[in-house]
Structure 1
Amino acid sequence: MKRNYLMGTAAIAGLLTLAACGGGRTDGTDAAPAEATTEAADEAAAPAEPAAPAAPEVEANGTVIDINMYTRDPDESSGMQVFKPRLVTAKVGDTVRFIPTDPTHQSSSIASMLPEGAAGWEGEINKEVSYVLPKPGIYGYQCVPHYAAGMVGLIIVEGEGMEANLEAAKAASHPGLAGRKFEEIFAEAGI
């Protein structure tokens, strides 16, 4: 008896929940009248000019630089969790393409190591990601799961103002082995 009562109560509660969620309009719109009024007011208050993009838009120039992601360094038996090459010099408009040669890797920019106004990138595990370099400067990047293990790299984009974020990039704080790896890469770059 008690079981039947509980099942009946659960069924009624479920039906009430469905009824409450299914109260859509039948005139083809999804918004309630108050919501429609708010949306119209928001559109009227919006500026006539679209907002400027956060990063300058740049067209790819056709040059693609491949950076492979490895669990074991193919050139150095003791190397683990590496980007190859880990240091790249490029030009504005070049495309860097990060290739997950081995599984469990991805590439993401490090916000404190980007030129001012440059948007970063965030790749997914085991997926290739490409990024068109929008402006001169220093671009630091990482494999998020292996960042503390020192899986990092650096892109130097040549051009006027390329050293504008150099000191900030060098001063960025990193976990585990990443800081030491960046010191090695900066020394290798001679900057």
Structure 2
Amino acid sequence: MKPIPLALAALFALPAWAEVHEVRMLNRNDQGPMIYEPQFLRIAPGDSVRFLPTQPGHNAATIDEMLPEGAAPFRSKINQEFGVAFDIPGTYGIKCSPHYAMGMVMVVQVGDDAVATIPEGLPKRAADRFQSIVEGVE
């Protein structure tokens, strides 16, 4: 068997370090209507999240007021599977664009820092759901 050059071996080893987490986008589950499952993820920098449109009519998009400094915003298309890597530590607020006012939100916490506080001015149901998510983490 021929030896693999070290640089090539390292290239194949890198993806094994990062995890891919799956989030289902649902119309309803036992926690209520218009919901991500799970509603909270704590992941390591470099991990990815795959958003799965388990039921129709949903997407995943960052919330500007809940985006760590230097992190790039994203917005998936409705009804399409979407994957994104989270490289910058911090608290990311994620929303379903059509159902944001109905409280379809989640938190992705990248790294081990405490979850950032929920900003003022969010739609009431979104703010209420964020509050329940954060209380469940503490």
Give TM-score, length-normalised by structure 2: 0.83
Kindly indicate which of the two structures has a greater share of residues assigned to helix.
1
Amino acid of the structure 2 residue aligned with 1:166:
A
Q: How far is 1:172 from its partner?
A: 4.0
CA RMSD of aligned residues (A): 1.8
Q: How far is 1:62 from its partner?
A: 3.4
Identity, % of aligned pairs? 34
- Measure, in 2, the Cα distance between the counterparts of 1:172 and 1:90: 25
Q: Show the counterpart of 2:131.
A: 183
Question: For 1:59-74, what aligned pairs fall within 5 Å after superposition?
Answer: 61-73=17-29
Amino acid of the structure 1 residue aligned with 2:80:
K
- Whether the aligned pair in 2 keeps the contact of 1:81 and 1:149 (CA below 8 Å) is yes
Number of aligned residue pairs: 124
- Greater radius of gyration (CA): 1
Which runs of 4 or more aligned residues in structure 1 lie more than 2 Å from their structure 2 counterparts after TM superposition?
59-62
Amino acid of the structure 2 residue aligned with 1:93:
G
Instruction: Specify which of 65, 70, 75 is matched with residue 112 of structure 1.
Output: 65
Unmatched segments (≥5 aa) in structure 1: 1-58
- Whether the aligned pair in 2 keeps the contact of 1:113 and 1:172 (CA below 8 Å) is no
| Larger RCO (CA under 8 A, 6+ residues apart) | 2
Kindly indicate which of the two structures has a greater share of residues assigned to strand.
2
Amino acid of the structure 2 residue aligned with 1:171:
P
Q: Show the counterpart of 1:174.
A: 122
Give TM-score, length-normalised by structure 1: 0.61
